[in-house]
């Protein structure tokens, strides 16, 4: 969707992203890179309908006679609606010539993450004045093996029902005030084997999918 917001605020975020200084190899660094401001120039110029209309005139409807006008532009992908459940999918493969290879590098991820530096300043379901959009980790999917074969396991937190999250899912309303991780016991699940584990074990896993629930 093309945004027609004021250019001065179109690239503003809820929290100052420039203060992040994210550590390379972390989920924060991945999000920072994914939402960075890009300049579109040369072969990546943007087709501008307004410029084209101005150049050809509003009455020119013959496509063959239109000379499309492309212009330099800025592009940035930001979150405009904070989801009740945040799912982060890590790209765990890399192109190597004509082959794909598995990426086994450990990506650091926190138990509580703040999405505010990656949300637009006019994020639709964030109360005015809020500068934090917090999420608590409750699930991780891990893949071991290669691109040809492997095994999926999961880490899941067993915790009490989150009534605030239910309100957010069912009615789009958030009254949650918690800023700490949701308390509960973590379990590692591999086929029929289930074992209680520590949070440090979870945070050291080779995450493929991350599941967070909204706190604030």
Beta strands in 76-174 (DSSP E): 85-89, 93-96, 99-102, 112-114, 134-145, 150-159
The answer to whether residues 155 and 186 touch, using CB atoms and an 8 Å cutoff, is yes
Residue 29 belongs to a domain: no
Q: Tell me, yes or no, whether 100 lies in a domain.
A: yes
Q: For residue range 56-113, what is the model confidence (pLDDT) as tens digits?
A: 765 555 454 567 888 888 888 999 999 999 999 998 887 777 778 888 889 999 999 9
Produce one character per residue of 134-148: b if its CB has 16 or more CB atoms within 10 Å, e if not.
bbbbbbbbbbeeeee
Residue 163 to residue 173: CA distance in whole angstroms: 11
How confident is the model at residue 85, as a pLDDT? 94
Q: Number of helices (H) and strands (E), helices first, in the chain?
A: 4, 13
CATH code for the domain in which residue 136 is found: 3.90.70.10
pLDDT tens string, the chain, 216 residues long: the values are: 455 566 667 788 999 888 888 899 999 999 999 999 888 888 888 888 878 877 776 555 545 456 788 888 888 899 999 999 999 999 888 777 777 888 888 999 999 999 999 999 888 888 888 889 999 999 999 998 887 788 999 999 998 776 666 666 666 555 545 677 878 999 999 999 999 999 999 999 999 999 999 987
φ, ψ of residue 96 in degrees (nearest 5): -130, 90
Domain of 203 in residue numbering reads as 79-171+180-215
What pLDDT is stored for residue 98 in this prediction? 78
DSSP helix/strand/coil, 51: helix
Q: Classify residue 56 by burial, with Cβ atoms within 10 Å: 0-12, 13-18, 19+.
A: middle
Q: How many domains are there within the chain?
A: 1
Are the CB atoms for 93 and 50 separated by under 8 Å?
A: no
Whether residue 196 is contained in a domain is answered as yes
The predicted pLDDT at position 162 comes to 66
Give the residue carrying structure tokens 């991350």.
210
Residue 155: which of 131, 138, 180, 134 has the closest Cα? Answer: 138
Q: Which of 107, 182, 106 is nearest to 137 (CA)?
A: 182
Q: State pTM to two decimals.
A: 0.80
Report the DSSP beta bridge partners of residue 159.
184
pLDDT score of 113: 95
In a domain, 6, yes or no: no
Are 202 and 109 in contact by the 8 Å Cβ rule? The answer is no
Instruction: Kindly state whether residue 8 falls inside one of the protein's structural domains.
Output: no
Instruction: Kindly state whether residue 117 falls inside one of the protein's structural domains.
Output: yes
Residue 149 lies inside a defined structural domain of this protein:
yes
Nearest Cα neighbor of 10 from 152, 121, 146, 105 is 121
């Amino acid at each position: 969707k093309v945004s027609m917001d004021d250019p001065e605020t179109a690239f503003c975020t809820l929290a100052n992203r420039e203060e992040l200084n994210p550590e390379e190899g972390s989920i924060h660094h991945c999000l920072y890179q994914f939402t960075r401001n890009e300049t579109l120039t040369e072969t990546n110029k943007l087709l501008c309908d307004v410029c084209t209309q101005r150049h050809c005139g509003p009455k020119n409807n013959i496509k063959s006679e239109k000379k499309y006008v492309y212009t330099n532009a800025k592009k940035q992908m930001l979150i405009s609606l904070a989801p009740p459940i945040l799912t982060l999918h890590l790209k765990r493969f890399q192109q190597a010539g004509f082959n794909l290879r598995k990426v086994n590098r450990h990506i650091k991820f926190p138990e509580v993450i703040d999405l505010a530096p990656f949300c637009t300043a006019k994020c639709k379901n964030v109360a005015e004045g809020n500068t934090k959009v917090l999420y608590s980790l409750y699930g991780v999917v891990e893949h071991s093996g290669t691109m040809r074969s492997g095994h999926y396991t999961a880490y899941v937190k067993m915790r009490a029902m989150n009534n605030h999250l239910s309100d957010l899912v069912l009615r789009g309303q958030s009254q949650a005030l918690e800023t700490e991780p949701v308390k509960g016991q973590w379990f590692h699940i591999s086929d029929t084997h289930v074992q209680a584990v520590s949070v440090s074990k979870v945070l050291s896993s080779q995450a493929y999918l991350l599941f967070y629930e909204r706190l604030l």
